[in-house]
Amino acid sequence: MSLFGGVTSQARSRNLVEFKAGKMLLRGTMVHPDKRKGLVYLYQGNDMLMHFCWKERSSSTPEDDLVIFPDEIEFKKVTQNTTGRVYILKWRSNARKLFFWMQEPKDDKDEEWCKKINDLLNHPPTPGFGDDSSGTGGLGSGAHPLQSLMDRMAGSSGAGGIDPNDLSNVLRGMNPNDLASLLSSVGSGSGAPGLMQDAFGQQTPDSRPNTAPAATRSTGTATATATGGTTSASSSSRPSGSSSSKPRNAGTSSSPSTAPPKSGTSLETTTGGPKGGPIKMSALADILSNLSDKNTTQETGNATAAKPTIDLYDIMTAENLIPILSNKDIQETLRTHLPEGSTISGSENELRESIQSPQFRQAVSAFSVALQTGQLGPVLAQFGLPEEAITAANQGDIQAFAQAMEKHYKKTNEESDEKKSSDNTMDTS
């Protein structure tokens, strides 16, 4: 389903790897080769998903086209069969298996292909910012880094544009910095970025005034609201519900306000923007607001991808719990937050059991992921946690969070301890 009436793009990259291989069929407990001459190949779709395919060489369409996610499979040589060159595509989470036999005359590249399949399926190439795995060709120097993406979106690669569903998939796969850059290019209008505007410039009479270079006012508006959009998408802590309407308003409200003539000084080619099917601002806004609602996990997850995600439950070891649970004050406080009706004896054991329960464990895991994907800022702010901790939470930085917490609470504790000891001039023994 395409907004601009063109052919929905199914265009995709060249095959990332391909080699001649036949299928094998499982009959009972034995595997028999399918004699047909075939081809195993991988490609990455516009939606960034990896496809593992097999087709008969005489055919143009694949007989099998499987979408494979990272860490889902393993492709390896079958060692029981020593005579043939049989390989297995094995799923990790269930018993599914597919077998293939190499049909390339020489086996010197078997291992290389095997490795490539594993690498590509488990570490798919990231969207085209300068990489040409997407087959859109290399970027000229000085081209906007998002040029290839824009090209694809506009279909200048010859495929007729991008389906909004694909678009949301693509945007979802982008890392937040690039996404922010893309969004800011929506509003800036001056210079090379402004690609999106160019796109709109082509489309309807409404949007044209929007993009006329002289209309810096509308540009300004667009920038402001688009930036609003930026923040909501890339810094996931803020709720994005309201921002979705803004870009749309910018689109409509600024059109009457701009005097300049539809002289069509719209900027087509000066900035080398896309020529093909443009994308409606409103559709993009919708998609982006959906993204910020649902997918901030992944975006910010990418941003903090440097550090692996830890599970806070792992720090709640028996050893660590001792000083916590033996403190009467802490015990009391914690107890008040236990589910009602679950405290029977109200003893330390009770607390320990709750902490060791699978339900609590899941809650802590969920909390950990939420914290490290920057979603907990606003929620934690309501608990009156120190500002530095909230900032760290917004950034998904758990180590900074821990440091900020200790900085505030440990100090307070030590101070009050000092105060207590200085108050007690007498030894009460």
Partner 1 sequence: MASGEWCLIESDPGVFTDLINGFEANGVQVEEIFSLDDDSLQQMKPCHGLIFLFKWQETDASNENMVKDSRLDEIFFAKQVITNACATQAIVSVLLNCTHEDLKLGSTLSEFKEFAQAFDPQMRGLALSNSEKIRYVHNSFARQQLFEFDSRDEKKDEDAFHFIAYIPFKGRLYELDGLKEAPIDHGAIPTDTEWTDIARPIVRQRMEKYSEGEIHFSLMAVVSELRRKYERQLEQILADSALTDDERNDKTSHLSILIHEEERKRESYRIENLRRRHNWLPFIVEMLKAYATQGLLVPAVDKAVVAKEAEKKRETDKKRKRI
Which residues, numbered 306-365, are part of the site for partner 1 (CB under 8 A)? 307-312, 314-316, 320, 323-324, 327, 330, 333-334, 337-342, 354-355, 357, 359-360, 362-365
Decide if 75 contacts 59 (C-beta within 8 A): no
Q: How far is CA 321 from the centre of its chain?
A: 35
Q: How far is CA 11 from the centre of its chain?
A: 22
Q: Least CB distance from residue 160 to partner 1, whole Å?
A: 32
Closest to partner 1 by CB, 253 vs 326, is 326
Closest to partner 1 by CB, 286 vs 350, is 350
Rounded-to-integer distance, Cα 284 and Cα 288, Å: 6
Q: Which of 80, 83, 93, 428 binds partner 1 (CB under 8 A)?
A: 93
248: tokens are 């749309």
Q: Which of 380, 392, 394, 395 binds partner 1 (CB under 8 A)?
A: 380
Q: Least CB distance from residue 342 to partner 1, whole Å?
A: 5
Stretch that binds partner 1, among 32-40, 58-66, 227-235, 393-401 (CB under 8 A): 393-401
Stretch that binds partner 1, among 12-20, 93-101, 137-145, 249-257 (CB under 8 A): 93-101
Closest to partner 1 by CB, 255 vs 365, is 365
Q: Which of 242, 253, 263, 412 binds partner 1 (CB under 8 A)?
A: 412
Decide if 387 contacts 378 (C-beta within 8 A): no
Task: Please name which of 359, 366, 356, 361 lies closest in space to residue 309, comparing C-alpha atoms.
Answer: 366
Q: Least CB distance from residue 421 to partner 1, whole Å?
A: 17
Report the site for partner 1 in 122-181 (rule: CB under 8 A).
Answer: 122
406: tokens are 């200790």
Rounded-to-integer distance, Cα 197 and Cα 406, Å: 48
Decide if 408 contacts 400 (C-beta within 8 A): no
Q: Which of 56, 65, 72, 132 binds partner 1 (CB under 8 A)?
A: 72
**Interaction mask 249-288, partner 1, x per CB under 8 A:** ----------------------------------------
Encode burial over 395-423: b for 16+ CB neighbours within 10 A, e otherwise.
bbbbeebeebbeeeeeeeeeeeeeeeeee
Q: Which of 12, 20, 76, 238 binds partner 1 (CB under 8 A)?
A: 76
Closest to partner 1 by CB, 252 vs 342, is 342
Task: Please name which of 45, 40, 46, 47 lies closest in space to residue 62, comparing C-alpha atoms.
Answer: 40
Whose tokens are 């309807």? That residue is 204
Task: Please name which of 131, 178, 174, 151 lies closest in space to residue 11, comparing C-alpha atoms.
Answer: 151
DSSP notation for 323-341:
HHHH-HHHHHHHHHTSPTT
Stretch that binds partner 1, among 38-46, 88-96, 132-140, 154-162 (CB under 8 A): 88-96
Closest to partner 1 by CB, 83 vs 359, is 359
Q: Is position 71 an interface residue for partner 1 (rule: CB under 8 A)?
A: yes
